[in-house]
Amino acid sequence: MTAADIVMPMFGQAMEFGVLVEWLTADGAEVAAGQPVASIESDKATYEIEAPVAGMIRHRVAIGAEVPVGDLLAVIGGAQAAGAVETPAASAAPALAPAATPAPARADGRVLASPRARELARAIGVDLAGVTTARADGVIVAADVERHGAAPPAPSAGTMTPLSPLRRATARRLAQSWTQAPHFTQMIEVDASALVAAQAAIRAGRLACSLNDILIRAAALTMADFPDLNASFEDDALQPLPDIAVGLAVATEAGLAVPVVRNAARRSLDEIAAETRRLIDLGKQGRIGAQDMGRASLTLSNLGRYGVAFGTPVLNLGEPVLVFIGAIEEKAVGIDHEIVLQPRTMLSICYDHRVVDGLRAAQFSQRLKQRLEALEDVLPGETEPSPTEPGGARFADGRVKLRLGEADLLVGAKDARLLSIAAALAALTAELPKLGPSARKLRGIEIRLEDGLAATLLCESEAQVARIGRAIEAADIATYSTAILRAELRPARGGGA
């Protein structure tokens, strides 16, 4: 039987120790190679460690222990496995309660709680003043009261609140970065019109990514323009970073994790989107692994949705740049002696002064601003043109030219009735290409105008009827027109219809 040690791995270059959060197998259990055996928390995320070989596992540390990188966690098989673990009874495992913050103390001393939480607290005799909540609005909800009721009494006012291992480590590393790296922040305002348009395209389904993906790509491309900035200051020297990785703050069960998108400058927007989706999914499952962690060239912090305008961020330890994106807000700006309203956002870009001077940083800031304003090389080259609004052509000369399948169709629209039907047909034809290549084979469809605002599309086969029917449904024709379109099978020729 092969024996193997399991030691605290190093997730990310700056990691010094990890906390054993949970044993995923019992002490003395038989494990298979590749089976997750322990859950480890670093300052950035929670990881799972897998058994390198099969065999009986013997735990060597207790839950909650801070274990330096490289130190022994457990052994599998072999002679070492014989010794039983001494679980230090005294080192009480910190409860893995979700990071709970006390409800914010209000000046008037009132506790904010939902009506249901109040009823519940009354019913089970809980004093709401001692209940904490993790909710952003600070309002205690019933679940907080239930959790409190099940937990040991909260520390009374005046006693210290111990931090979770994750938060303890985070605090230590932030302090380290703050004291070691001389920070400076440049704020630069950006015309966010292009970003807002991109957002609209995302909402409309024309762009399959998130706003963050666009930001990641823009930041990575800009970093690629400034290779001298992509370095970490270590031991009085600049250590070039291996590639352009962009850190992305992701919400997880245990708090904020910052996985990185590697090689971000070389990935297309689609690829970045796929990668962030993967990372976010992993984050939700609490399964972000070591390969997805580590030092980034820059980290993005986007708190715009909370209305924050700008910030003075703290760099992640060992990283040269952090870009903080503020809320996009409509502002009055002067353009060519006219006051116009424009969506704008503030970038607060924090630099490590040991890596970059102010001038070079300003060039970086400006380049990023320009890139976000144009989005030229950020969005896919062959961006789908937004489908022409069917409403556009219909008022031109009273006639509407439509392309239905491979046939051009000219609809006279001199009166409101035909106009409405033409608009409905235009909506339909705009929708047809989305239904895939098969829908393009639509030769031979006839249009029969009915009484009222109705038209029937006479098709040659049942399959065609079904396809057109789906397109009619998808086209949401009512948005453009009050007309009603129907697909029907064409009556047999010579039938007199």
Partner 1 sequence: MRTISYGQAINEALAEEMDRDGDVILYGLDVAAWGGIFNITKGLLERFGPERVFDSPISESVMVGAGVGAAIMGLRPVVELQYADFILVAGDEIFLKAGMWRYMHGGAFKVPLVVRLPSGATGAGPEHSTCPEAYVMHSPGLLCAVPSTAADAKALLKEAIRLDNPVMFFEHRRLYQKRDEVPEGDVTLPFGKGVIRREGRHVTVVAWQYMLSRALKAAELLEQEGIEVEIFDPRTLSPFDSGTLIESVKKTGACLVVEEGYRRLGVGAEIGAILMEQAFGYLDRPFRRLAIPDVPMASVKPLVDRVLPSVEAICDVCRELAA
Which residues lie near partner 1 (CB under 8 A)? Answer: 114-119, 135, 139, 141-143, 200, 203-204, 389, 391, 450-454, 472-473, 476-482, 484
4: β partners: 76
Structure tokens belonging to residue 422: 């033409």
Would you say 104 or 452 has its CB closer to partner 1?
452
CB of 436 to partner 1, least distance (A): 21
Would you say 305 or 337 has its CB closer to partner 1?
305
Would you say 96 or 474 has its CB closer to partner 1?
474
Contact 365, 371 (CB under 8 A): no
DSSP structure string for 283-317: HHTT---GGG-S--SEEEEE-GGGT-------PPT
Would you say 115 or 381 has its CB closer to partner 1?
115
Would you say 174 or 484 has its CB closer to partner 1?
484
CB of 335 to partner 1, least distance (A): 22
What are the counts of helices (DSSP H) followed by strands (DSSP E) for the chain? 10, 26
CB of 130 to partner 1, least distance (A): 19
Would you say 127 or 281 has its CB closer to partner 1?
281
CB of 203 to partner 1, least distance (A): 6
The values of phi and psi at residue 355, to 5°, are -95, -35
CB of 148 to partner 1, least distance (A): 15
Distances (CA, A) of 148 to 96, 139, 158, 413: 13, 14, 19, 69
**Who's near 477: CB < 8 A, 6+ residues apart?**
424, 427, 428, 483, 484, 485
Spatial CA neighbour of 267 closest among 211, 224, 299: 224
CB of 451 to partner 1, least distance (A): 6
Task: Give the integer Cα–Cα distance in Å for 493 and 293.
Answer: 68
Task: Give the integer Cα–Cα distance in Å for 237 and 184.
Answer: 19
Would you say 38 or 472 has its CB closer to partner 1?
472
Contact 294, 260 (CB under 8 A): yes
CB of 489 to partner 1, least distance (A): 17
Burial class of 20 by CB neighbour count within 10 A (0 to 12, 13 to 18, 19+): buried
CB of 252 to partner 1, least distance (A): 14
Would you say 71 or 389 has its CB closer to partner 1?
389
Contact 343, 329 (CB under 8 A): yes
